[in-house]
Structure 1
């Protein structure tokens, strides 16, 4: 640790740092609860609006991600110049209001529009938060800090799956959107009045007021192998994570007969706790192991991805509920260790006023490709597999669209269940690519001197 870094650490407010990290985790959690509600209430939306699995995939994926991902870059550029706490606060209020509007949707089209709005609001939060954290914490702590920050989605998944499923089951799916949108407005106000704007480049030897052009940030990504190798691993892992997660509630209902409340509780434990554990392992574990060899920043996500392959297969092939849920928990744990070490590597090699843009670029790829296309791809494959398996008379899509005739209900159920099972297994191809990419990044990072 350098003398300058030690001096800055000694003058920082520990209580404020704990509050900053706690509040940003809550904000990240709020964004995730709003993001996943469509997946939790998917079975009801499918029946009430007559949706296909592909349309559900669009609502839970591309409808949210298309603006969330693409607007992240221009907002990240603004975060390099302007007050970051204000940008975060405005973003929270915006996406929370759009989440509440989702509760008023009466059709696929209106729900699509409101989901686009949620994505627009959330675009200003995560890259800006990353930039804020990098100026508040030293490089030696960043993998841990980013790992803790990445627990937000895990907390959000737990609250959203359990609370959203319970509220939707007891009071209807519209109330779930109202109930989870409103707290975000309160969080926005708290963030505005309690967060501070830290000095840019607080832990860098030279402070620069110059904001590098976007092409300079892109050049750094191309020039530094660990950047694009880590990014490729993040994107391909995200396709699997989002593609399977957004359909797990529906899968649990079709395969094991769980209602929304039961499926929500199961997914809260499986994915919420699993992602929480994975985030801690990735953050703390990589910082600890990297003291011996910096290649652990790549090796830990690589091993996690490798273990995720058999756990995914077991999760969606076992017909035993206990075996399936334990495997899902291990899958969620292993596929969520990448966040802390990945962003630590990316930020450690960039100038301070490049970091929000760099995070936005990674989230552009992760969310547009991973969350945007992952659920749509799984939903499309589910429909295709189900159509091939369907043994009833006529076309699967027409025969099995709600309301379903009693004579073909059994065939529709079998086709829908089997089709979704095969579609949930397919993303292991992406996990295999991620495994290779993270191992390649470890080689590029090289042993620290």
Structure 2
């Protein structure tokens, strides 16, 4: 076979580009719905605290630990499972479960009941990222892959902005819907919001079943292996600093991200006197266009830096996110007016999604195909047990115990942004050389 024919055969082995982008669109929408179901609770803080008699620390646990326990613990088994099974089926199962669990939140009457419902949301969503990262790696060539990951990350931006905007919209519509639709009779407005947030996921699950095909795995001889942590341990031992800097640094950034998702609505409601509906509309209107642009742009930036010879491009973009968190994130928390805080929120949104694009692109550069789902699952475990739990709990705890005035939420958030943003930047920049060496070694193994 001639070199030209070999190149053509390699190109033909990948799924059609147009269909691959359709699959990315489905995965992106699934990510958006996952974020919507995860963070819509943030705008419901006032009615939930009144209905269930919970304090800030408990609310932080509902947003963090309740979700992260199952989301984190199940991440690795699901990552292993998706490396060896039909990934589309795993995606559909998770999508149905977390959507039903979100609807189930509306029936909670106690803190414990809502805690269990949030745990079930975490069970379903634990499947999404490992499956999506693995599918995208087999739908796109390595050169195009960062762009696909960048588009996928827009799901986070879309879900966050839509969660804020729609939650505010649903709250303003709730009384009318309760009066008009029999299915909502006897429900409180916050309950209606949970139902409306969970329902679209069931529709998307049906679309995925009917349209998304399982791709051929590239670079894998066989996936019929027993479950073992030895390959992961050997991989990390070979390049400890490369994996540690990427994973630890991006997790520290995620502490700030989850603090935004969980507590920024409370910042505007308490410190600046905005209503929940006003807060939702404002955060959604500002965050949606900026964050989507940043999420798509992040993949292109990583690809551009890579073409210019920066093998450590994912660490550079993640470090830029850390700097933004420490500067604009902190300024947004302590700003004297709501509009100035909103402006800082918008500037910070330009960099927030660079972090997760860096995770996906970076891990795909230094991880063999057969282990990608598992390594991504380990990152999910760390982001859940550390970032999601800490980002919500620390703010709530500081608000209850240190900064106890209504406006104290500003300082509680500011402490988190400054501390973890600076920490992320230092860790990421310290691992650049090791990451470059790991990328080179991984590329040489693929050539051989």
TM surpasses 0.5:
yes
* Distance in 2 separating the partners of 1:6 and 1:115: 49
**Contact conserved, 2:326 with 2:420, CA < 8 A, in 1?**
no
**Contact conserved, 1:158 with 1:269, CA < 8 A, in 2?**
yes
* Distance in 1 separating the partners of 2:57 and 2:286: 24
Greater displacement, 208-217 / 295-304: 208-217
Q: Please, which runs of 5 or more residues in structure 1 have no aligned partner?
A: 388-414
**Contact conserved, 1:301 with 1:438, CA < 8 A, in 2?**
yes
* 2:194 maps to 1:177: yes
* Distance in 2 separating the partners of 1:350 and 1:240: 26
* 2:300 maps to 1:284: yes
* Distance in 1 separating the partners of 2:197 and 2:413: 28
2:430 alignment counterpart: 440
* Distance in 2 separating the partners of 1:444 and 1:365: 21
1:379: how far off?
Answer: 0.4
Detail structure 1 runs of 4+ shifted over 6 Å in the superposition: none
1:107: how far off?
Answer: 1.4
Q: Secondary structure at the match of 1:106?
A: coil
* 2:40 maps to 1:50: no
* Cα deviation code 1:323-379 (max 9, x no counterpart): 211101112222321222332221222222211111101111012211122101110
* Cα deviation code 1:354-407 (max 9, x no counterpart): 1111110111101221112210111001111234xxxxxxxxxxxxxxxxxxxx
2:151 alignment counterpart: 148
Q: How does 1:295-314 map to 2 (within 5 A)?
A: 295-314=312-331
Give the one of 119, 127, 131 matched to 1:128. 131
Residue-pair matches, total = 418
* Cα deviation code 1:182-239 (max 9, x no counterpart): 1111111111121111111x2x3x6333547322113313422322210011110111
Give the one of 414, 419, 426 matched to 2:415. 426
2:236 alignment counterpart: 221
**Contact conserved, 2:253 with 2:325, CA < 8 A, in 1?**
no
Q: Please, which runs of 5 or more residues in structure 2 have no aligned partner?
A: 175-188, 441-448
* 2:363 maps to 1:375: no
1:21 alignment counterpart: 24
* Distance in 1 separating the partners of 2:236 and 2:398: 33
2:348 alignment counterpart: 331
1:54: how far off?
Answer: 0.8
* 2:59 maps to 1:89: no
2:103 alignment counterpart: 100
Q: How does 1:199-348 map to 2 (within 5 A)?
A: 199-200=216-217, 202=218, 204=219, 207-209=221-223, 211=225, 213-224=228-239, 225-293=241-309, 294-348=311-365
Q: What's the TM-score once normalised by structure 1's chain length?
A: 0.88
**Contact conserved, 2:42 with 2:263, CA < 8 A, in 1?**
yes
Q: What's the TM-score once normalised by structure 2's chain length?
A: 0.89
Going from structure 1 to structure 2, the CA distance change for 1:2 and 1:332 (only over 3 Å counts) comes to farther
**Contact conserved, 2:52 with 2:110, CA < 8 A, in 1?**
yes
* Distance in 1 separating the partners of 2:365 and 2:6: 16
Going from structure 1 to structure 2, the CA distance change for 1:381 and 1:124 (only over 3 Å counts) comes to same
1:394 alignment counterpart: none
Q: Secondary structure at the match of 1:104?
A: coil
Aligned-CA RMSD value: 2.0
Greater displacement, 244-253 / 268-277: 268-277
* 2:177 maps to 1:161: no
* Distance in 2 separating the partners of 1:289 and 1:19: 26
